[in-house]
Structure 1
């Protein structure tokens, strides 16, 4: 099943976002049907903060390394495309496609919905000219960035319809958690709905019942890895070879074996 088909159900597509080739091998070993990056985790792994600071050449190189070990479709979080110029954004996305991705997330953020529409149109035109198919998951930041307090659903639906008309293939309503809001988003616009894991999120079964097609971990797994690494390092500095260093650690042979198998 290709990446586009995975958004049509019947199963909920669960994306455990990765940030480098090693995390991709790990997640892939768990039997996932697709991989997708977290822009935050990828930027952190390369020594940059999240939020449009990652040089496009470094981002594309990182994607190429992930694609080398990927055995399933790979999508990339492109933030807002690293430019306000739609033609430049389209060029960046083609670099990602050349690196091996078949889909992207691209966000409206603090920009206008009209600007994201122009970016989507430019990406679709450039992809068609290059003879490639790119699944565009349009991220609506109404909830995540609190852009329309008290009228989030109405604003998100307006944006979703515009993004669909511009050529988007999916809607990513990052930050929405209320079941009633999710149900309204599924019913009120034509794109398959992607939501992001949050502590207050409905269960997997409820999300599927509501009609959600994709659930993303976002940066949560990368954050968990950073937290575990910080506790282990702090424990080592305080105690040496104590429990904090070894509790919950994956065995060396297991990690090395996974990476070894990925080379074949």
Structure 2
């Protein structure tokens, strides 16, 4: 399957009410296991990739090392691969575009791209984030790949009123869509009514992240969700199991 075919296949997996389930990987080995379990696509978790190499999340793992890991994952599996690229490792649109172009050349067909100011404070203004998304879309077009840009907003990781934040999220979703986003990711939001409101009013596939308080997949499907990500949960569970096995062997 060509990269273009994988990109088309991946986009088609995002169906409102029949969500794509992504059990996030952190290296080639976990990607192969997840594919072997029947996954139709592979997604990485930046948190897990960083932790597995002894780094903290937040673009602290060197980009060159992250690229090596992504390259190994893309070569290890036959299904589409999308990566959590945080803020793209640059605030400069030109550098950002070059960073994304290298990922595309490694074979990936999608990215998560967040509006949090990595290593800074708060979120980018919606229009500024839209410019960044547009820069990514432009370079993807030049490379002939219909990159799935999953526009992530970190609004719901703050302390604000979720209902008021939902209104801002809807505005950001439209702005990001107009700039070239393919999906809208709302990690941190767990309220059924607000998830449904976003799903009903956003003209992009809506992605949620598994965490305490989030409804089961069947209920999320009823709310109109098109994608469910497990984020760092697989890594945490795997490491907890390893710790218990190591503790038992040392007893």
Tell me if both proteins adopt one fold, taking TM over 0.5 as the criterion. Answer: yes
Aligned to 2:153: 140
Q: Give me the whole-angstrom Cα distance separating, in 2, the residues matched to 1:53 and 1:6.
A: 31
Q: Give me the whole-angstrom Cα distance separating, in 2, the residues matched to 1:15 and 1:211.
A: 16
Deviation of residue 145 (structure 1)?
A: 3.5
Deviation of residue 234 (structure 1)?
A: 2.9
**Contact kept? 1:87, 1:119, Cα under 8 Å:** no
Query: What is the DSSP-based 3-state SS (H/G/I as helix, E as strand, rest coil) of the residue aligned with 1:3?
Result: helix
Q: Give me the whole-angstrom Cα distance separating, in 2, the residues matched to 1:131 and 1:191.
A: 22
Q: RMSD of the TM alignment (CA)? A: 1.5
Aligned to 2:40: 33
**Contact kept? 1:148, 1:155, Cα under 8 Å:** no
* 1:118 partnered with 2:131: yes
Query: What is the DSSP-based 3-state SS (H/G/I as helix, E as strand, rest coil) of the residue aligned with 2:145?
Result: coil
CA-to-partner distance for each residue in 1:30-67, whole Å, 9 max, x for gaps? 10111100001111122211111121111111011011
Q: Give me the whole-angstrom Cα distance separating, in 2, the residues matched to 1:183 and 1:170.
A: 15
Deviation of residue 144 (structure 1)?
A: 2.2
Q: Give me the whole-angstrom Cα distance separating, in 1, the residues matched to 2:44 and 2:160.
A: 25
Deviation of residue 8 (structure 1)?
A: 2.9
Question: If the length of structure 2 is used for normalisation, what is the TM-score?
Answer: 0.90
Q: Give me the whole-angstrom Cα distance separating, in 2, the residues matched to 1:96 and 1:233.
A: 36
Cα separation, partners in 2 of 1:92 and 1:145, compared to 1, 3 Å: farther
Q: Give me the whole-angstrom Cα distance separating, in 1, the residues matched to 2:89 and 2:105.
A: 17
Q: Which runs of 5+ in 1 are unaligned?
A: 240-264
| Higher relative contact order structure (alpha carbons within 8 Å, sequence separation ≥ 6) | 2
Query: What is the DSSP-based 3-state SS (H/G/I as helix, E as strand, rest coil) of the residue aligned with 2:204?
Result: coil
**Contact kept? 1:61, 1:99, Cα under 8 Å:** no
Cα separation, partners in 2 of 1:30 and 1:9, compared to 1, 3 Å: farther
Cα separation, partners in 2 of 1:29 and 1:43, compared to 1, 3 Å: same
Query: What is the DSSP-based 3-state SS (H/G/I as helix, E as strand, rest coil) of the residue aligned with 2:156?
Result: coil
Deviation of residue 149 (structure 1)?
A: 5.4
Deviation of residue 111 (structure 1)?
A: 2.8
Q: Give me the whole-angstrom Cα distance separating, in 2, the residues matched to 1:147 and 1:9.
A: 28
**Contact kept? 1:60, 1:96, Cα under 8 Å:** yes
- Runs of 4 or more off by more than 4 Å in structure 1? 147-150
Aligned to 2:218: 205
Report which of the two structures shows the higher radius of gyration computed on alpha carbons.
1
Correspondence 1:1-264 to 2 at 5 A = 2-9=9-16, 11-109=18-116, 110-112=122-124, 113-146=126-159, 151-237=164-250, 239=251
